Structure 1
Amino acid sequence: MNEKSPSQKRAAEIAGLICFAVALFLLLSLFSYHPLDPSFTNYVPEDAPLHNWTGAVGSYTADTLLRLLGIGILWLPVLLLVTALRYFRAAQFRVGAAAVAGTIGLVFATSGMIALLIGDIEIYGIPLQAGGLLGTVTASFLDAYLRLAGSLIVLGLILIVALMILFDFSVVSFAERSASAAGVTARTAGSLLDRCRERFGRKREAPTVGRPAAATVPIIEETKRETIKEKLAKAEQTHFDFAIRLNGKFKLPPLTLLDHLERKDTRIKRETLIANSRILEKKLSDFGVDGKVVEVKPGPVITMYELEPAPGVKINKITNLSDDLALALRAPSIRIIAPIPGRGAIGIEIPNQEREPVSLRDVLDHATFRESPYRLPIALGEDIVGAPVITDLIRMPHLLIAGTTGSGKSVSLNAMICSILFKAPPDEVKFIMIDPKRLELSGYEGIPHLLHPVVVDPKKASLVLRWAVEEMERRYRIISEMGVKSIEAYNQLRAGKAPVPAPETGEAGCEEAEEPMETVPGASPVRKAAEKAFRKNEPLPDRLPYIVVIIDELADLMMVAQRNVEESLTRLAQMARAAGIHLILATQRPSVDVITGIIKANFPTRISFKVSSKVDSRTILDQLGADKLLGDGDMLFIPPGSSRLTRIHGPYVSDREIERIVDFVKKQGKPAYDESIAEFGPGAIEGEKPDGDFDEKYDEAVELVTDLGQASISLVQRYMKIGYNRAARIIERMEAEGVVGPADGAKPRKVLARKIPH
């Protein structure tokens, strides 16, 4: 080596000192890094405390290097120290292109391997990419083409080559030295083991009893939620199958028709929740609001922080900061509940960075739904802590839904329909579906639960609603004649009634009795009511099913026939509960000309998905908050008998799942449409005489009664599979034309015409 000149020695020492100073500065700034310090990604006030030992320059430098290169940047101060030592030892040392390439390769390979193996880490509760932006991008690219094993091989090769370039490293010599050291270590360990055996071989160690560790009291009470693996294991151990055959006729759909939605465990760690609480308190303090977070409730989609404001802080001052907090916390929207009912705190709902999806199968497979006594259960989804929310449509008894396009309104409506299909057979519940958009409800066409094909014409829909009003009044007549007050009591009485012998003509069960029931000593009120009904030529049905009227877009109906639609909906909403008729109305335009004051007054139970403005939120809920929702099934629910809003995340059900459910139900039978709905027109009101239009089934009905030798409305209705009103008109025409005689109480009508032999 050539002798150092004084100038060269001085220059080398200066370069070494510079490298040493830069390395020391980087080490101090990196080891004292704090994510809440000022940086290019985090703005803090000038008077905020600074944690970094090297000041603002160090905090900006450390944050930039860690976010770009991750933990692999720690190689840089190490290499600078090595470079400084080399400058001190050799005046002619120069940093060449090979050293620069080796440094880049070393940091590149280290960041990529850390991103592959570790992923994300938390520093003071704040998430950070361990491999930085460079490592994350590299890991994603290599994993897409080489998977984990291939990526580690490539990055390991780059790492070894970089070390060989920077430190004159030899793989062969390292392997030889490692083998030699391993041999020496093995021999030394063997000799020590032999000595221990000779000295302590005869001694027995007393068993030690481990003392259980003391339980730590958590600072934040987290709601216990089952992980995905626990849910799947539980489903395999205690699987509940809805595929139960009722009365040997109808089989309810099984849960296997629904898909298992892949749900990642997105529960936030306790340290992160504590850090977020401190950040929230600090942001509020920046706006002049002092308070303390007293409780945190993490959920699948949002996390609610309960803030206890300091004395003298007005609530309005906090509620007006929702947009400012959303900007400061980088959240899409923040909803503030001020105050929480029954609590001396204010709720601040902040969306999670990673949203956990909610599937319909998870909600229906929960014990809350399986063991619910509801006849018309509706699966609304999960609340803010992940607990399933099931409600009863009978208790509501009607539901008004609003939400803008893309808010998840139609998906949640399908989930409500499917939840009823999983619980109720066709003889217990019937649907009338009105879908002016011709898209959302057309998939249910042909299921046996339908009373009428899906209505797509708004003008026809107004007539169907008028028919529902007439059906409500008919049911009330039947219920009142039985001496009961509701459809539940009527069905219970009819189910417990003893069977009545068939008439002597041999027709089984076409009428209730041969002689008037008043002549029977001790006749029950049920039989007397039945006799009274028959005297009015109206047979008592064995069962009155529930009727659920579903309207997917109310705005289209109000544009065509607002007066008739509003009148029918008002009458149904006011009176139809005891008759077993329930309404579900949905609209994407919750304006005052669609949701009028009369409709709102009669629909206390409402659901609002995300709406476009605060005015729409007040229109549907009479409160603010719906404009702050996240969409995709996020809703606010006003339960029956309460004005308190409940935030729920609606379940997802795909079109493919709906098709499987519909196909399963359709295979068990065809719908028995009520012909009276199709025949109902503007003049078909009660008390109007039947028109003289020819019925195509009239001749067939005449042949039927002459063959059997008896006639009744229920007989024609049952044998010809037509509606009650149509069968009644046929019998009245037969009486007018002399085919059958007049009604004689509970006895069958006498057939006057004779069958013409062929």
Structure 2
Amino acid sequence: MLMAEQKRKPGRPKGSKNKATREKLDAELAKKQAQSRLKNEIWAIVIMAVGAFLAISLHTQAAGELGRIISDLLKGLFAAVAYALPYYLILYGLMLFFRRSARIGARSVLLLCLIFLMTTVINSARYLDVEGLSISLSFIKDAYNNGVVLGGGGAFGMTLGLVLKKAIGIPGLYILSLVVIVISLMLVVNIPASQFIERYKEKRREAMKDKETAADAEATADTSVIMPDPVEKAAIEVPGFLSGSVTNRQMKIIDYVKDDELFETGQKSEGLGLEKPAPVEPGKGLTGDEETAKEKPVSKKSKGLRNEEIEELKIDLDKEEPISYIEPPIDLLDKAKSVPKTNENINLKQKALKLEETLKNFGVNAKVVQVTKGPAITRYEIQPSVGVKVSSIVRLADDIALNLKAKSIRMEAPIPGKAAVGIEVENDRVNLVTIRELIETKEFQNSPSKITFAVGKDIAGTPVVADLKSMPHLLIAGSTGSGKSVCLNSIIVSILYKARPDEVKLVLIDPKVVELGNYNGIPHLLIPVVTEPSKAAAALSWAVSEMTERYRKFAELGVRDLDSYNEHIKTKDDETKPMPQIVIIIDELADLMMVAPSQVEESICRLAQMARAAGMHLIVATQRPSVDIITGVIKANIPSRISFAVSSQFDSRTILDMAGAEKLVGKGDMLFYPLGESKPIRVQGCFISDGEVHKVIDYLKEQVPDNEYATDVIQRIERSYESDTDDDTDELLQEAIETVVRAEQASVSMLQRRFRIGYNRAARLIDMMEARGIVGPSEGSRPRKVLMTEEEFLNLGKDPDDENEN
């Protein structure tokens, strides 16, 4: 027993040995945990870095070739939902980095993956509502290619979605996917859904209680208490995949059609000029008159009357003068047809990405910052990177048109007022712009000028209304079928809706006979529509003399323009009537220039130079804008231009002094270049049908059935025309005689070609030479014989006294 005690002494106690073992184990465990945490933090950093790289690859083009390949792969598999994957990785990395435990369970990772995949299926479901789809290699390939351009749901989503659709249908697919997502979220956060509901109800009760307490305190307080502003929730910037957008960056897409639809649904105007009523501001009541108007609305415009005209009619009734004119109602014009609501943003987005890719393939770094869809044209605004020349984009016009599958494109480099290059592409479907839309706009109604006319809508859908008074003359050119005649009809009808016959008079010159002849009989016409080219030249000569006469009257009264003259006349008690404005419209200038080029050119130039202050304005249209028709003198004096589609770049430079009109698409597509603009404006011209024109004309003829033209003007034009036709001393006669004598043959076609004159004048010259015995009688299709020799012609102009002396 003693020996046992002695043996036990030198040994260590049993309890201390166990304690040392536990301390050693704890140290080893702490070391392993630190190593594991370090390893987890490293993995977390790597995962977050991968997520950040994927985010940069998907949202920008700054990740290089590898980033582009990864971006296309993810979008091809998951389409738009691929943009959520980087944020999933970053979220998982943050959870792994700040997690106290060694690692996150594999169950949470699997649940997050399941949520991601079911989101992909939901995104694909809307593209699966098509009969006849089956899983095949071509289906998967098409789904992958569509996913790359953010169309469809990607190869994985479309394949899994199609399997579920065939099994449980589209409704079952949605139900199953949503149930899986909700249950997975509950398992990840480890909080029952009932707890979420209880928390929401508790916060709702607390908010109601605070609100009641604040109301009671405000009611019982003797002094005003300044309550602290409620803390607003911070605005959270939601990624693109959560907001339902398919864009991968900030790209603004503007579709004017949607704005028009919203405007139309809120505006129901039956008469001319009725605008959408402005909302009454809170705290501002209606006056008695306004309340009466609100209770009993009167559609004055449905009867074709405006407030100003009603006042005029009241004055006329006081003077006991008959009322002879009421402007046409807006109901005579057709309403705009409703445009079917189609979501074209995806198509526009795909074209924008295709455009960027095309430029990148040619070494041009640029991005599309805005897409504006107009009635007929869509403009893609491209912002080039630093150091990229604008010329490098312009020279790729044909390659861009090829890749976008467009007939042609037009570039505006740069867009005025913007640091961007505009690429204009024709829409697949042209939306019609009716003249009624523009006449009902406030821009047209509020214009004080009586010669305001509707032009159309620009690319952004903004109404374009012009005032001929400020232009003051207009030159229109365009090939056959481009919309030139419709534009002239729109101008005339706009004036008919804006002005009374005693305010504006029209002189219409239509050598083609068939375009403007329908307007005969309306009260706004000063004379019947002139269809003979020779009479047209006489009518222009009368216009010059009328302009001179007006300036003489202005000088007598000491006024400078028509408005001042009419204001002065109103203050006088005599019976002098105010002068109306006169608008002269020439439908085809080429026909006039063939008959009397010098006389027509001289008259047009004098009118264009001086007629503005006299209240006379020219609108000249031609379908052949060549330099022999639109001469430099005419161009210099008519500053405002409208060009429709023309056949060549030379014609475009003739009418606009720049190229671009040859790339227009026709059907009303125009370049509007008014006085004061630095560049032409692309406009889709308004449309008015022949039926609408006839309705307006018939209405005006019914209003003034016994319309009388200005007989004195007609007589002066007839006298001028007869003197021109009866005068044997044609200015070209001497040159024509010399030409046929030297050529030893005479024909009408030869004189037409040599002097660039019309058939009538050339035939008249032949008849004059036959009467003088210079050429023989007609021999059918063969040229006439010349009866005078060259020596006889030279002696013809000599003085007889000189001959006797010799």
Q: Match of 2:494?
A: 419
- Mark the CA change 1:421 to 1:240 in structure 2 (over 3 Å): closer, same or farther: same
Mapping of 1:510-525 within 5 angstroms? Answer: none
1:488 maps to 2:572: no
1:300 maps to 2:331: no
Tell me the alpha carbon deviations over residues 28-48 of structure 1, each in whole angstroms, 9 at most, x when there is no partner. xxxxxxxx9xxxxxxxx9x98
SS at match of 2:453: strand
**Contact 2:151-2:346 at 8 Å conserved across structures:** no
How far off is 1:313 after superposition?
Answer: 2.7
**Contact 2:505-2:580 at 8 Å conserved across structures:** yes
The structure carrying a bigger helix percent of its residues is: 2
- Mark the CA change 1:313 to 1:77 in structure 2 (over 3 Å): closer, same or farther: closer
- Mark the CA change 1:401 to 1:213 in structure 2 (over 3 Å): closer, same or farther: farther
SS at match of 1:636: strand
Q: Match of 1:679?
A: 715
1:652 maps to 2:683: no
How far off is 1:625 after superposition?
Answer: 0.7
**Contact 2:538-2:720 at 8 Å conserved across structures:** no
1:76 maps to 2:138: no
| Range that drifts further, 227-236 or 615-624 | 227-236
Q: Match of 1:395?
A: 470
- The equivalent position to 2:623 in structure 1, one of 583, 588, 604, is 588
Q: Match of 2:645?
A: 610
- Distance (whole Å) between structure 1 residues aligned to residue 352 and residue 262 of structure 2: 29
Q: Match of 1:527?
A: none
- Distance (whole Å) between structure 1 residues aligned to residue 639 and residue 254 of structure 2: 30
- Mark the CA change 1:128 to 1:253 in structure 2 (over 3 Å): closer, same or farther: farther
SS at match of 1:452: coil
How far off is 1:451 after superposition?
Answer: 0.7
SS at match of 1:578: coil
How far off is 1:216 after superposition?
Answer: 7.1
Q: Match of 1:219?
A: 250
- Mark the CA change 1:671 to 1:427 in structure 2 (over 3 Å): closer, same or farther: same
1:230 maps to 2:288: no
How far off is 1:552 after superposition?
Answer: 0.7
SS at match of 1:594: coil
Identity of aligned residues (%): 44
Q: Match of 1:579?
A: 614
SS at match of 1:394: helix
**Contact 1:383-1:649 at 8 Å conserved across structures:** yes
SS at match of 1:77: coil
Specify the code of the residue in structure 2 equivalent to 1:257: L
Extract unaligned runs of 5+ from structure 2.
Answer: 1-57, 59-64, 80-123, 140-145, 155-165, 169-201, 209-229, 239-248, 270-275, 278-298, 314-322, 722-806
Larger Rg: 2
- The equivalent position to 1:369 in structure 2, one of 436, 440, 444, is 444
Mapping of 1:115-514 within 5 angstroms? Answer: 206=205, 219-223=250-254, 225=256, 226-228=259-261, 230-236=263-269, 241=301, 242-244=304-306, 245=309, 247-248=312-313, 249=323, 250-264=325-339, 270-497=345-572, 499-500=573-574
- Distance (whole Å) between structure 2 residues aligned to residue 445 and residue 542 of structure 1: 24
How far off is 1:333 after superposition?
Answer: 1.8
- Distance (whole Å) between structure 1 residues aligned to residue 130 and residue 340 of structure 2: 28
Q: Match of 2:15?
A: none
**Contact 1:432-1:549 at 8 Å conserved across structures:** yes
Extract unaligned runs of 5+ from structure 1.
Answer: 1-35, 37-44, 60-65, 81-106, 108-121, 131-162, 168-202, 501-508, 510-540, 686-758
- Distance (whole Å) between structure 1 residues aligned to residue 152 and residue 529 of structure 2: 53
- The equivalent position to 2:660 in structure 1, one of 625, 630, 640, is 625
- Distance (whole Å) between structure 2 residues aligned to residue 553 and residue 477 of structure 1: 31
- Distance (whole Å) between structure 1 residues aligned to residue 446 and residue 612 of structure 2: 24
- Distance (whole Å) between structure 2 residues aligned to residue 411 and residue 207 of structure 1: 68
- Mark the CA change 1:611 to 1:123 in structure 2 (over 3 Å): closer, same or farther: farther
Give the paired residue count. Answer: 492
Specify the code of the residue in structure 2 equivalent to 1:485: R
SS at match of 2:564: helix
- Mark the CA change 1:638 to 1:53 in structure 2 (over 3 Å): closer, same or farther: closer
Specify the code of the residue in structure 2 equivalent to 1:219: Q
- Distance (whole Å) between structure 2 residues aligned to residue 48 and residue 441 of structure 1: 61
Question: Which gives a bigger RCO, structure 1 or 2 (Cα 8 Å, sep 6+)?
Answer: 1
How far off is 1:418 after superposition?
Answer: 0.8
| Range that drifts further, 321-330 or 416-425 | 321-330
How far off is 1:304 after superposition?
Answer: 1.8
Q: Match of 2:51?
A: none
**Contact 1:431-1:547 at 8 Å conserved across structures:** yes
**Contact 1:220-1:270 at 8 Å conserved across structures:** no
How far off is 1:370 after superposition?
Answer: 1.2
- Distance (whole Å) between structure 2 residues aligned to residue 306 and residue 53 of structure 1: 28
- Distance (whole Å) between structure 2 residues aligned to residue 352 and residue 280 of structure 1: 15
SS at match of 1:422: helix
- Mark the CA change 1:318 to 1:266 in structure 2 (over 3 Å): closer, same or farther: farther
- Distance (whole Å) between structure 2 residues aligned to residue 450 and residue 481 of structure 1: 28
- Distance (whole Å) between structure 1 residues aligned to residue 490 and residue 720 of structure 2: 35
- Distance (whole Å) between structure 2 residues aligned to residue 126 and residue 660 of structure 1: 50
- The equivalent position to 1:634 in structure 2, one of 669, 672, 676, is 669
**Contact 2:253-2:370 at 8 Å conserved across structures:** no
Specify the code of the residue in structure 1 equivalent to 2:480: T
SS at match of 1:295: strand
Mapping of 1:534-549 within 5 angstroms? Answer: 541-549=576-584
How far off is 1:277 after superposition?
Answer: 2.6
How far off is 1:631 after superposition?
Answer: 0.8
SS at match of 1:307: strand
Q: Match of 2:44?
A: none
How far off is 1:395 after superposition?
Answer: 0.5
- Distance (whole Å) between structure 2 residues aligned to residue 129 and residue 583 of structure 1: 59
- Mark the CA change 1:207 to 1:453 in structure 2 (over 3 Å): closer, same or farther: farther
- Mark the CA change 1:276 to 1:482 in structure 2 (over 3 Å): closer, same or farther: same
**Contact 1:125-1:271 at 8 Å conserved across structures:** no
- Distance (whole Å) between structure 2 residues aligned to residue 446 and residue 207 of structure 1: 79
**Contact 1:450-1:671 at 8 Å conserved across structures:** no
Specify the code of the residue in structure 1 equivalent to 2:250: I
